[in-house]
A = this chain, B = another copy of it.
Amino acid sequence: MKAAIFIGPGAVKAGDRPDPVIQEPTDAIVRVVRGCVCGSDLWYYRGVNEHAVGSIGHEFIGVVEAIGEAVTNLAPGDFVIAPFTYCDGTCPACRHGFQANCTHGGAFGNGIIDGGQGEIVRAPSAAATLVKVPGSSFTDEQLASFTALSDVMCTGYHAAVSAGVTAGDTVAVVGDGAVGLSAVIGSRKLRASRIIALSRNPSRQALAKEFGATDVVEERGVDAIEAIMRVTGGAGVDCALECVGTDESIETAAGITRAGGMIGAVGFPTYENFDYKTLFWKNVGIKGGVAPARQYIPELLGDVLAGRINPGLVFDFETDLDHVADAYAAMDERRAVKSLIRMGADR
């Protein structure tokens, strides 16, 4: 089969990998319909984080082609969304709804496990991992939103859930990437009454507003803190959603959150200087981590199918597997928020 191969920093190309086959009775084989590139893939592409040579891409949707004998809740022909990590569904973390921390789980596309940027994937623990989509025919817009549910929409929602956003809250979203934009959707879903998006990019500002942002702050760093304190009448925000992971972004989140407020943290943490004690003295809490996409997909899928949310709009670049390098370059050069990769037939 054809699949994207991570060769090294700056080098991702379509190549050949062995056709996946059922190895364990709990496996399923999924023909991928859409994959995409994650902001975290860029860290590998840029050489910031290490990645093994081999398969890459952890987000995908597709059609079940075969199942192991222990998989009783799926059948060939089912359309499924894969959360970006697989999970057994039975360990303590899974039972508490934190499947990304599954004792026996792992990530797709880590060099060895098949990646979502490829034609076919062997999905381990398929019964607990894959989420079946009801129906059999979907629009391009729906397919894009399903793909967003594989990771980015769930990750943005996890920021809002972790921060405990509730009806009437004032929320600030730090980061205008696909996760930050999804966090705006998540905040609106949880009925925040005011959602302040931090962005200086006109097209991202427009998308944030379409997703529910009520205010846009263009400033950065200390100036952003001053601006948000000003627009909140000196009170600060109830919840700050940290969707970047740098020292500047977490300092901004810490600086704008009111006494007793919460930071929802989902940005891949690359900060080095953040000291929790600064939050302690403000009575500000922080919670977050790798999103349990498997936990959120069923509910968010219902929102997509009902037309309540449209997270697929974060994709503003599309290509096919042969041009996967373009998908990375477009995001690396900030020409695209997020790149979608089409894989042949829609079903």
Interface residues of A (CB under 8 A from B): 92-93, 96-98, 100-101, 162, 234-236, 258-260, 262, 265, 269, 271, 274, 276-277, 279-290, 292
Contacts and interface: CB of A to CB of B under 8 A. Distances in A.
Given A259-B92, A260-B93, A276-B274, A162 B285 contact: yes
A286 B283 contact: no
A73 to B, nearest CB: 24
Contact of A283 (B98, B260, B282): B98
5 nearest CB pairs, A to B: A285-B287, A283-B289, A101-B259, A93-B259, A92-B235
A280 B258 contact: no
Given A101-B260, A101-B283, A286-B287, 9 more contacts: A92-B236, A96-B260, A97-B260, A101-B282, A269-B276, A269-B280, A279-B286, A280-B288, A285-B287
Contacts of A283: 98, 100-101, 162, 287-290, 292
A290 B288 CA distance: 22
Nearest to A233: B92
A91 to B, nearest CB: 9
A98 B289 contact: no
Contact of A276 (B235, B260, B276): B276
Contacts of A265: 280
Contacts of A259: 92-93, 96, 98, 101
A93 B288 CA distance: 24
A101 B290 CA distance: 31
B282 A285 contact: no
Contacts of A284: 287, 289
A277 B269 contact: yes
A313 B129 CA distance: 51
A276 B280 contact: no
A162 B259 CA distance: 12
A262 B285 CA distance: 10
Contacts of A262: 287
Given A92-B234, A235-B92, A277-B269, A98 B288 contact: no
A159 to B, nearest CB: 12
Given A96-B259, A96-B260, A281 B290 contact: yes
Nearest to A162: B285
Contacts of A162: 283, 285
A97 B258 CA distance: 11
A100 B93 CA distance: 35
A88 to B, nearest CB: 13
Contacts of A235: 92
A338 to B, nearest CB: 23
Nearest to A163: B285
A107 B20 CA distance: 66
A14 to B, nearest CB: 32
